[in-house]
Structure 1
Amino acid sequence: MTTTSETQGQNFLQEIIEEDKKTGKHGGRVHTRFPPEPNGYLHIGHAKSICLNFGLAQQYGGKCNLRLDDTNPLTEDTDYVQSIERDVKWLGFDWAGKYFASDYFDKLYDFAVELIKQGKAYVCSLTADEISQYRGDFNTPGRDSPYRNRSVEENLDLFSRMKAGEFPDGAHTLRAKIDMTSPNPVLRDPPIYRIRHAHHHNTGDKWCIYPLYDFAHCLSDSIEGITHSICTLEFENRRVLYDWIVDNLIKGGRPYQYEFARLKLTYTVMSKRKLLQLVTEKLVSGWDDPRMLTISGLRRRGCTPVALRDFATRIGVSKTDSWIDMSVLELCIREDLNEHAPRAMAVLKPLKVVIENYPEGKTEQLDVANHPQKAELGTRQVPFSRELYIEADDFMETPPKGFFRLSPGKEVRLRSAYFIKCESVIKDDKGNVVELRCTYDPATRGGDSPDGRKVKGTLHWVPASAPTAEVRLYDRLFSAEQPDKDKDKDFKQFLNPNSLEVIRDARVEPMLADAAAESRFQFERLGYFYVDPKDSQPGKPVFNRTVTLKDSWAKEQVKPK
């Protein structure tokens, strides 16, 4: 994997790590972790974090753990756990160890008891709404809970009874006892344990109290020997709480938290809650819908792990929020596929062509290159005969100036085949063009003219014997650059109605009929396509468009309104 430092110079995290190694901090070790909550499928923002955490560990000869932050049994599921593991592996990384926050529930409970014994935690019996009211805001200092001065003995007793299941959800919380007048509301006695009578995917029904993220995360880092706890900028104001908990409970070596700007990508949403809405409301076909910017959706669309790692490298790492245009991701995908995807021909909207001067009953096999720049990928044979199909959009009866495709009396080149000229047009009773009658020049076999004459148009085509196939044309899921920018509007109103077009009667060259699931191709002049691994059947591939050959959205933006 190419690191950011190799292409853009060092980022601030690399500078921190190199300084730490130089000074001997952490004994020169680098140990990171990727800590997703298993409450949904990972999206492209997580891909950036995966590449960053695992990439830094690789670069500095360290380790990276996968830790599932499973402290909320109401939203977590084994399916999500498995999807996270698949995504990390697919991106090309492996973990030094796989852990769950729930692995440490006994230790975390003991840590909480230690805080109570230090007089730095207490059981509070205010409701969640009352806690919020007592906390105040950035302009109003907080007020002490009436339960703040319970004795250590009473707190230990109540916390033990909370663990034993004596109280209903919401009856009590365990709060850190810090400073209700702190200018940072995060330090105003934050809850660190809550009662939640719910079955847990990993621990079953053993627990009915669960630690909150702020408490569990920093202590899990400490237990695992993490040196650099890297998270996104929204946790920056919570670093003081991270440090307070660690400093009060951990003796000796400790982790440190560092924040970077999360990915903000146009034409999508980066909230698992909103992505879950799309799934549960059946606005998409599932977490792996190829229009979703989940890692599994991108994978099913045909994106490669190389392209996603390249994207993570190109956008870099900073401490300042900035928007990345979707075209950058599409460019990374396009460049990788252009290098490796073999070429093929397909016609999405078939228009029949009859070559009148081609011998009836004759079929010849034409050699066609699998990649114009990579001779090592070899050639394939495509049958050519009197009848074939071209793209309907490649013909106009009365073309405008600058139309270099086929029209009456005009000559074009068929890719790797012959020059043909349109002689006549056949229409149905509604005036629709249904067939073209053409002639060909036998001397132009292979697509070149021995007399040196030039044609401006080169068309892709398939033989009349070409099998039909289902082709899915995917586009951006949202039509607005920032669909959730306006908090007064429902982000779903910006869903792109043209994000999916299904063509069930496309024609593809014969060899594509047996294309294996997960194969990738460039359909000449149309884009890059991937054989859907979920819906394809032997002999009946379904082709997902991964990305167009050019940025069609950029062209749309400059059209006159």
Structure 2
Amino acid sequence: MSATDSPVSSNFIRHIIAEDLAAAKNNGRVATRFPPEPNGYLHIGHAKSICLNFTLAAENNGTCNLRFDDTNPEKESVEYMESIERDVAWLGFQWAGKYHASDYFETLYDYAVQLIMQGQAYVDSSTPEQMRLDRGTLTEPGKPSPDRDRPIEENLDLFQRMRAGEFADGQYVLRAKIDMASPNINMRDPAIYRIRRAHHHRTGDAWCIYPMYDYTHCLSDMLEGITHSICTLEFEDHRPLYDWVLDELKTPCHPQQIEFARLQLEYTIVSKRKLLQLVTEKHVTGWDDPRMPTISGLRRAGVPPEAIRDFCERIGVTKKNSWIEMSFLETCIRDNLNDNALRAMAVLRPLPVVITNWEDGKSETYQIANHPQKPEMGSREVAFGKVILIEQDDFMENPPKDFKRLVPGGEVRLRGSYVIKCEEVIKDAAGNVVELRCSYDPATLGKNPEGRKVKGVIHWVSEQHALPAEIRLYDRLFSHPNPDTLDNFLDGINPDSLEVLTDARVEASLANATPDTRYQFERTGYFCADSVDSKPGKLVFNRTVTLRDSWGK
């Protein structure tokens, strides 16, 4: 399924675009963009923006650009840029063009000079602390800087010398000259350029002044011919500045900024600063740890990109902030994997079962469907032998009344195989069950003979043919529904977010499991071979999600 094949729901942005097309606005064009800052890995919140921007463009025969907002070289890197490209492509989208804000540095500088010449920008020597004090409050107007009425010629000279590197970092900034009494604090002469001596990963040391985001963003949109600049809701108060820059410069086109509510997902943080802290302090193994809400973490966990796109479509697009339950994302993942994941058998905590009436050295094989509802997905060969392995939890000596698995003297069906009966329980000196001895009924292969009722069905593997595997049982990284509300978000970390099982056994068909192949381990959960650590001869599987929502139960 392509990125645009899923059913779409109506939302207010789709309505705006439809009205614009009906009115032949923008010459009937739709052009959007996804503009991440390359200062970290993308997370599930970015996925919503990616899906929205690319899908809106695709369904209106438009274009969507990938643009890196690389105006803060101290926090940005090529590694982050490459990870962003991988994530967008993995989600199923292809950008019409790939751009960088740094592509426009010379043009942005020229526009800043134009603002100075129009008397709408000035060089200010105020310290950051003084600027904050002079900005005023929501109820009090700001105080003009003493430099606000600096002559145009002097502003031009100082700005050129800022670029030439004559001044120390922070000694001057270039500010837009708007309205220090504006009720919108963003319009109180915001800084649009600052001095910062930092090596840029694309422009090197060619620049020591860098433009601010609000100034850069609108002009980058304009230069690329963007028609609808879709942002999250926190930029709503910045829209007047977006429009002011374009209006005062009389640019050839004027993109329309539209804001929507960002994704807020329970049991998750999406602050790049906090995500970086989790990585640097080794609370996780990296940005792609399967517990991380990053797109690379979700990918490594085995989450299908289609499930993320489905999730983003189903939660909708609104103007009102709201919290999405983690269980809803997990439901979207399960829905997709239930339809598309191959089936296999894996025993996570093995208990040996000796089939006493099975001939020593004998083994047999039979075919089991890879998916019970999809014959087109084929079948696999499963071997049966003298000793099989079952889950420890599938046997109880003193079971509750509704226990339908194996008990002393009881029968159970082996998935796709025979009915076995527990004849003897072997224990060690400490009283722990270490082995079961069972008989099998040769007349029950794949069926119940007439009059025979066996309710329980369990999974198993042949000890002789099974492969050793490491199973990583990942769970939610946080046990608190909103860790950002804690004094220290690290206090919300779930101590049981990862359990590693090193003695698991999986059926032989998984010998060459690839990271892109997802499995339902029957009766256990959905898993994917780890993209970093798993290889033939050393299998490692990550749990993507449990078979059903059992959180908190």
Paired with 1:345 and 1:93, the residues of 2 have a C-alpha distance of 34
Q: CA deviation at 1:7?
A: 4.4
What is aligned with 1:173? Answer: 173
Paired with 1:384 and 1:176, the residues of 2 have a C-alpha distance of 77
What is aligned with 1:376? Answer: 376
Counterparts in 2 of 1:351-366, with a 5 A limit?
A: 351-366=351-366
Instruction: Check the 8 A contact 2:512/2:535 in 1, yes or no.
Output: no
| Aligned partner of 1:546 among 544, 547, 552 | 544
Instruction: Check the 8 A contact 1:5/1:11 in 2, yes or no.
Output: no
Q: Report whether the alignment pairs 1:420 with 2:406.
A: no
SS of the aligned residue for 1:435 comes to strand
Paired with 1:125 and 1:266, the residues of 2 have a C-alpha distance of 44
Paired with 2:26 and 2:326, the residues of 1 have a C-alpha distance of 39
Q: Report whether the alignment pairs 1:304 with 2:334.
A: no
Q: Report whether the alignment pairs 1:220 with 2:220.
A: yes
Q: Report whether the alignment pairs 1:533 with 2:543.
A: no
Counterparts in 2 of 1:424-443, with a 5 A limit?
A: 424-443=424-443
Q: CA deviation at 1:4?
A: 10
Return closer, same or farther for 1:191/1:267 CA change in 2, 3 Å cut-off: same
Amino acid in structure 2 at the alignment position of 1:31 = A
Amino acid in structure 1 at the alignment position of 2:495 = P
Paired with 1:415 and 1:282, the residues of 2 have a C-alpha distance of 41
What is aligned with 2:189? Answer: 189
Paired with 1:401 and 1:123, the residues of 2 have a C-alpha distance of 81
Q: CA deviation at 1:516?
A: 2.5
Q: CA deviation at 1:6?
A: 4.1
Instruction: Check the 8 A contact 1:4/1:316 in 2, yes or no.
Output: no
Amino acid in structure 1 at the alignment position of 2:421 = K
What is aligned with 1:278? Answer: 278
> TM-score, normalised on structure 2?
0.98
Instruction: Check the 8 A contact 1:367/1:379 in 2, yes or no.
Output: yes
Q: Which runs of 5+ in 1 are unaligned?
A: none
Paired with 2:513 and 2:111, the residues of 1 have a C-alpha distance of 57
Stretch deviating more after TM superposition (276-285 or 211-220): 276-285
Counterparts in 2 of 1:412-491, with a 5 A limit?
A: 412-446=412-446, 448-465=447-464, 466-486=466-486, 489-491=487-489
Amino acid in structure 2 at the alignment position of 1:494 = G
Return closer, same or farther for 1:143/1:534 CA change in 2, 3 Å cut-off: same
Paired with 2:181 and 2:481, the residues of 1 have a C-alpha distance of 41
Q: CA deviation at 1:333?
A: 1.1
Spell out, residue by residue over 1:466-496, the C-alpha distance to the aligned partner (whole angstroms, 9 max, x if none).
Answer: 121111111111001111124xx11111011
Q: Report the number of matched residues.
A: 551
Paired with 1:549 and 1:296, the residues of 2 have a C-alpha distance of 22
Paired with 1:229 and 1:366, the residues of 2 have a C-alpha distance of 58
Stretch deviating more after TM superposition (238-247 or 368-377): 368-377
Q: CA deviation at 1:339?
A: 1.2
What is aligned with 1:516? Answer: 514
Instruction: Check the 8 A contact 2:4/2:58 in 1, yes or no.
Output: no
Q: CA deviation at 1:497?
A: 0.7
What is aligned with 2:114? Answer: 114
Spell out, residue by residue over 1:159-212, the C-alpha distance to the aligned partner (whole angstroms, 9 max, x if none).
Answer: 000000011111010000111111111111000000000000110000000000
Q: CA deviation at 1:139?
A: 1.9
Q: CA deviation at 1:505?
A: 1.2
SS of the aligned residue for 1:552 comes to coil
> TM-score, normalised on structure 1?
0.97
Spell out, residue by residue over 1:208-237, the C-alpha distance to the aligned partner (whole angstroms, 9 max, x if none).
Answer: 000000000000001110000000000001
Return closer, same or farther for 1:538/1:359 CA change in 2, 3 Å cut-off: closer
Instruction: Check the 8 A contact 1:519/1:531 in 2, yes or no.
Output: yes
What is aligned with 1:367? Answer: 367
SS of the aligned residue for 2:511 comes to helix
Instruction: Check the 8 A contact 2:448/2:454 in 1, yes or no.
Output: no
Instruction: Check the 8 A contact 1:517/1:541 in 2, yes or no.
Output: no
Paired with 1:537 and 1:343, the residues of 2 have a C-alpha distance of 20
SS of the aligned residue for 1:514 comes to coil
Instruction: Check the 8 A contact 1:230/1:259 in 2, yes or no.
Output: yes
Q: CA deviation at 1:378?
A: 2.0
Paired with 2:33 and 2:93, the residues of 1 have a C-alpha distance of 12
Instruction: Check the 8 A contact 1:31/1:57 in 2, yes or no.
Output: yes
Paired with 2:259 and 2:429, the residues of 1 have a C-alpha distance of 67
Spell out, residue by residue over 1:73-104, the C-alpha distance to the aligned partner (whole angstroms, 9 max, x if none).
Answer: 10000000000111111111111110000000
Instruction: Check the 8 A contact 1:350/1:506 in 2, yes or no.
Output: yes
What is aligned with 1:502? Answer: 500
Amino acid in structure 1 at the alignment position of 2:209 = I
SS of the aligned residue for 2:483 comes to coil
Instruction: Check the 8 A contact 1:3/1:313 in 2, yes or no.
Output: no
SS of the aligned residue for 1:21 comes to helix
Instruction: Check the 8 A contact 1:468/1:506 in 2, yes or no.
Output: yes
Q: Report whether the alignment pairs 1:245 with 2:245.
A: yes
Paired with 1:390 and 1:243, the residues of 2 have a C-alpha distance of 66
Counterparts in 2 of 1:7-406, with a 5 A limit?
A: 7-8=8-9, 10-406=10-406
Return closer, same or farther for 1:55/1:228 CA change in 2, 3 Å cut-off: same
Return closer, same or farther for 1:86/1:250 CA change in 2, 3 Å cut-off: farther
Instruction: Check the 8 A contact 1:32/1:228 in 2, yes or no.
Output: yes
Instruction: Check the 8 A contact 2:3/2:93 in 1, yes or no.
Output: no
Instruction: Check the 8 A contact 1:344/1:524 in 2, yes or no.
Output: yes
